[in-house]
Amino acid sequence: MDEIRLNRVRSMMKDELSLLINREMKDPRVPMVTVTNVELTRDAKQATVFISIIAVNATYTDPDLIKQVLEALTDAKGFLRKSLGSIMQLRFMPDLLFKEDKGLENTLRVNEILKQLEAEKKAAGIAPEAADATKKSE
């Protein structure tokens, strides 16, 4: 499949899976989920679906909950493939593989580290602007 078509299929799969998971699935093990990305192999035989779990105030990072949600989605793979097949009308519907998207978790971790560094600079008596000015003059 050419790259343009793969991108269109990825985008459509991402949108439709998000709707199917959040509106059509009746599994109580699956809370509100965001489909963050879909990666397709060149031959479009397998799709890796990256998900993150939405909480009211933040993203869940509980490993047990994430494992439970991934198992529930894997159990519902047949339903999701059949529903996608009727919507997308592809000659061959890719096999779905679900994985946790750690992008948001990594971003939150980096922000925490930056906040710690800022607090350490303030505790040492170095103003952030002064530290930046000394770096520029070097």
Q: Place 127 in a pLDDT band, splitting at 50, 70 and 90.
A: low
Please state, in angstroms and rounded to a whole number, the distance separating the CA atoms of residues 137 and 41: 49
55 has pLDDT over 70: no
pLDDT at 58: 47
10 has pLDDT over 50: yes
Q: Place 42 in a pLDDT band, splitting at 50, 70 and 90.
A: very high
Q: What is the pLDDT of residues 98-123, one digit of tens each?
A: 999 887 777 878 888 999 999 888 88
124 vs 50, higher pLDDT: 50
Q: Which amino acid is located at 63 in the chain? A: P
Q: What is the pLDDT of residues 57-86, one digit of tens each?
A: 445 567 788 899 999 999 999 999 999 999
How far is Cα of residue 14 from the mean position of the Cα atoms in its chain?
10
What one-character-per-residue DSSP string does 89-137 give? --SSPPEEEEEE--HHHHHHHHHHHHHHHHHHHHHHT--HHHHHHHHHH
pLDDT at 97: 96
pLDDT at 53: 85
Domain locations in the chain?
3-101, 102-138
Reported pTM? 0.74
59 vs 90, higher pLDDT: 90
Within 10 angstroms of residue 82's Cβ, the number of other Cβ atoms is 11
CATH topology of domain 3-101: GMP Synthetase; Chain A, domain 3 (3.30.300)
How far is Cα of residue 114 from the mean position of the Cα atoms in its chain?
23
What does the DSSP 8-state code read for residue 58?
Answer: S
